[in-house]
Structure 1
Amino acid sequence: MKWKKNLLLILFLVGGIVIGSLLAAACKDVPFLSWLGFSQSIGISSQAPLVVDLSVFSLAFGLSANITVAHILCLILSVFGYKAAAKRF
């Protein structure tokens, strides 16, 4: 039963991310909604990755996330949606 709730949470979070991306892309060119598309990139850039050179081989690590205001709002709404849906289980 617990795995169903975890799966439901993951489903809601992924849905919030996808809807947030669509919302940010759609509102980017609308003047009074352009603030939803404001983004900040965090992490280790793929243009300047963290490189570990061990002389036999090299490892390059890079991870970056681009977060918009729409992502944050949709993730908050998806958590509230999850809490409402989880009560039914």
Structure 2
Amino acid sequence: MRNSAKNGWSLFLLLLTGIVLGGFIGWLAKDVAYLSWLNYGQQFGFSEPFHLNLGILKITFGLTIKITMSSIIGVVLAIIVYKKL
């Protein structure tokens, strides 16, 4: 067993890759009639960015997350790949 290869960073990178690739595949499949279900999902977050003005420093914070069926499939595949390491 190669337990040294299994660490938190590799899991994080695999999950992030699964989410991004899954979301991209869902976006590509949105106009295909029999694959449009891959882009079905929910978007949540801040509708307006949060602005903080401290005089000399201005900070804008906004966060929106869209979870689609294809990104969930990407996460599942990333976990399977992680377990195979």
TM-score, normalised to structure 2's length?
0.72
List per-residue Cα deviations over 1:32-87 (Å, max 9, x = no partner).
11000113111112xx2446688x687654311111110011111111211111xx
Which amino acid letter does the alignment assign opposite residue 83 of structure 2? K
The aligned residue for residue 46 of structure 2 is 44
Match of 2:37 among 35, 38, 41: 35
The aligned residue for residue 27 of structure 2 is 25
Q: Unaligned 5+ residue runs, structure 2?
A: none
Partner Cα separation in structure 1 for residue 82 and residue 12 of structure 2: 9
Distance 1:3 1:77, change over 3 A: closer
Post-superposition offset of 1:18: 2.1
Percent of counterpart pairs with the same letter?
A: 35
Partner Cα separation in structure 1 for residue 17 and residue 52 of structure 2: 36
The aligned residue for residue 83 of structure 1 is 83
- Whether the 8 Å contact between 2:6 and 2:82 is mirrored in structure 1 is no
Partner Cα separation in structure 1 for residue 59 and residue 21 of structure 2: 34
Partner Cα separation in structure 2 for residue 9 and residue 30 of structure 1: 32
TM-score, normalised to structure 1's length?
0.70
CA-atom RMSD in angstroms: 2.3
Q: Where in structure 1 do 4 or more consecutive aligned residues deviate above 3 Å?
A: 1-4, 49-54, 56-61
Which amino acid letter does the alignment assign opposite residue 63 of structure 2? L
